[in-house]
Structure 1
Amino acid sequence: MEVLIKMYWDDSPTPNVLAPIGDFFCLGHFIAANFQSLPFTASVKPSEERKFGGATASRCYLPMPFKKHARIEIENQNDEAYIQYFYIDYELCSEPLIDDTMYFHAHWRRENSTNGWAPPNMQTNSLVTQVKNLDRKNNYVILETEG
């Protein structure tokens, strides 16, 4: 499934959040699984098919402040029909947000394909723990952040 979640805060012309919906909720490749962390949880009924959607309950508890309005879009870019139930909890503040309040941003990116640094004869995951890349050359960056 190629289903995106887009979130816009206030008057942003471009999405502040843009990611495949499964990846946003920590469910890569639309494969649902049960897990729990502080900002995200996901649960699947054992009797249901383990695809994202349907019987998957995914939750995000990250604060996402905005001053005037927010818009959340789910965009199906696939030829298959996609049905989504959702519930959004929000809280109105009695005081306006301060001017330098930071907005939540998340953008999904990938590089397809990557060269990586593993030796060409490496065929199994068990060998990955035996090979070290101490000079960091050709590492694939999965997170760059500030703040």
Structure 2
Amino acid sequence: MNGVVLTVGNPLMGDDGAGPLLAELLEAEAAVGWTVIDGGATPENVTHVVRRHAPDHVLLVDAAAMGLPPGEIRRIGETQVAAKFMITTHAIPLDIIVASLGETVPEVTFVGIQPARVEFFADMTPAVRAAVERLHRQLREGRDPRDIPPIS
């Protein structure tokens, strides 16, 4: 597989740092078939880098307010991203980025991690840290992120 994990989030805002933490873990211990790009709080600034890799699949990972217990991981459809599940700490809504990437990438999968606390200078909660580590392990084991349960 020729995939890109595009992580999103701000590590200065507690659990919103879930994406950047996953990027750090993947840089330290890579997952075969995946290149990691940390989009930080402005993922629109790196979409050209994603496109340069010409991936078959982009896995976009960010904190997402889904009304679930902290640390729950779910796959979120493109229409659901726009409708209700996004924490609005980013300059451009992620549904626009997902749609833009979808113009050149055959498959874009959005995965959200339910945060407990998103506020400046807060530490990441243990539940979210454990979820990020679990997702990292799943990718390193070669498990398909499309197998992550969808949000209902």
> Aligning the two structures, in what range does the TM-score lie when normalised by the shorter sequence?
under 0.3
TM-score, structure 2 as length reference: 0.23
Task: Give me the TM-score of the superposition, normalised by structure 1.
Answer: 0.24
Greater relative CO, 1 or 2 (CA 8 Å, sep 6+) = 2
Q: Which has the higher helix share?
A: 2
